[in-house]
Amino acid sequence: RNIKVVLDGVFNHSSRGFFFFHDVLENGPHSPWVDWFKIKGWPLSPYNGEFPANYVGWADNRALPVFNHDNPEVREYIMEIAEYWIKFGIDGWRLDVPFEIKVPGFWQEFRDRVKAINPEAYIVGEVWGDSREWLDGTQFDGVMNYLFAAPTIAFTAGDRVDIEQVQDRSYHPYPPLFAAEYATKMQELLQLYPWEIQLTQLNLLASHDTARLISIAGGDIPSVELATLLLLTFPGATSIYYGDEVGLPGRLDPDSRRGFPLEANWNQDILNTHRRLIALRHTYRCLRTGDYQVLYAQAELFVFTRTLDDEKLIIAVNAGTASAKANININWHSQLNKLLYGNAKIEWYGEAETRKLSLNLPPRSGCILGHG
């Protein structure tokens, strides 16, 4: 089936059930693994919260003892894990909280050793904000692109966002955005990294660390469909969190990690939206690697193009509750008359440099225009 597998590498910390940490619990300062962790005193208390843990746990969680990455043995152990699974046949690594590991050269060595075995291996970091520090070509191929997710949710879900489901997260899908504000954020994002890196970003709308989009949007299905349209027409690698394609709800972790639902509980409309958009992304190369240009962004109507050589598509999203009409100047020699996705009324006027597209888009809907 040509499925590729990317493992989740949690290399900043272990669990307190990890054998090496258990040896420290058993043998104290005499354990050969004592310098693998950040011990602050004795005795250690991994399970009883009435006493200080006496070691560093990730996010002060005593269940997750942090590795001492300054120890060369720890560093080598992690590198050998990375190499082992790449040799075994996995296709890449997703790196958990990699920004927590601050040892100079760590991620550069990680990349070198992974790519030496498989130059095509994909290395993607969990970094929620500006990631230029890690996307310099010597560390990660891409990051989880929450800088795409947050504005896209704020635009498509708007004031439907349930603030409780996004509070205390490291991304900000609120307050509501109008089209012009959304356009600005997308253009700023596309200017943040080189184009080659944009094409390897892991674009997403939800993950195991966030509430699911349908729950963030208070169960509003058009919010999911509009955001999915923007996701599958954006440059980069599309990431669909399991269950989102069938409308699985889920509030903040751990509720966002529910089991996949039985088919009787699938939302067929959301599933069909995903199937149609995925098929279009496979069909049109411009949706994967083509240029992204904003054509129109006013009120709640956002229109942009994806172009690659002679292949051109126009994508429009109306996030408002009323129909949206616009006359858009497009100085293309070719007219796009075929509605590949969605419902809209379209007419073309004029010739060459004076050509205009008249677009009328129903409320809370989107469309894709292509060649007839």
Give me the active site residues, please.
96, 126
What is d(CA 302, CA 315) in angstroms, rounded to the nearest whole number? 8
Q: Are 150 and 105 in contact (CB under 8 A)?
A: no
Query: Could you say which DSSP state residue 364 is in?
Result: T
- What is the rounded CA–CA span in Å between residue 58 and residue 71? 18
Q: Are strands 92-95 and 122-125 parallel, antiparallel or unpaired?
A: parallel
Q: DSSP for 2-21? A: ----EEEE--SB--TTSHHH
Answer yes or no: are the C-beta atoms of 95 and 126 closer than 8 Å. yes
Beta-carbon count within 10 A of 40 CB: 11
Cβ atoms of 96 and 127 closer than 8 Å: no
Omega of the bond leading into 175 within 30 degrees of 0 (cis) = yes
Give the Cα separation of 360 and 343 in Å (integer): 9
DSSP label of 236? S
Report DSSP state, residue 261. P
Contacts within 8 Å (CB) and 24+ apart, 265-272: 267/221, 269/221, 269/225, 270/214, 270/221, 270/224, 270/225, 270/228, 270/244, 270/245, 270/246, 271/245, 271/246, 271/247
Nearest CA-CA partner of 150 in 171, 136, 126, 164: 171
What is the Cβ-side half-sphere exposure of residue 89, based on CA atoms within 13 angstroms? Answer: 3
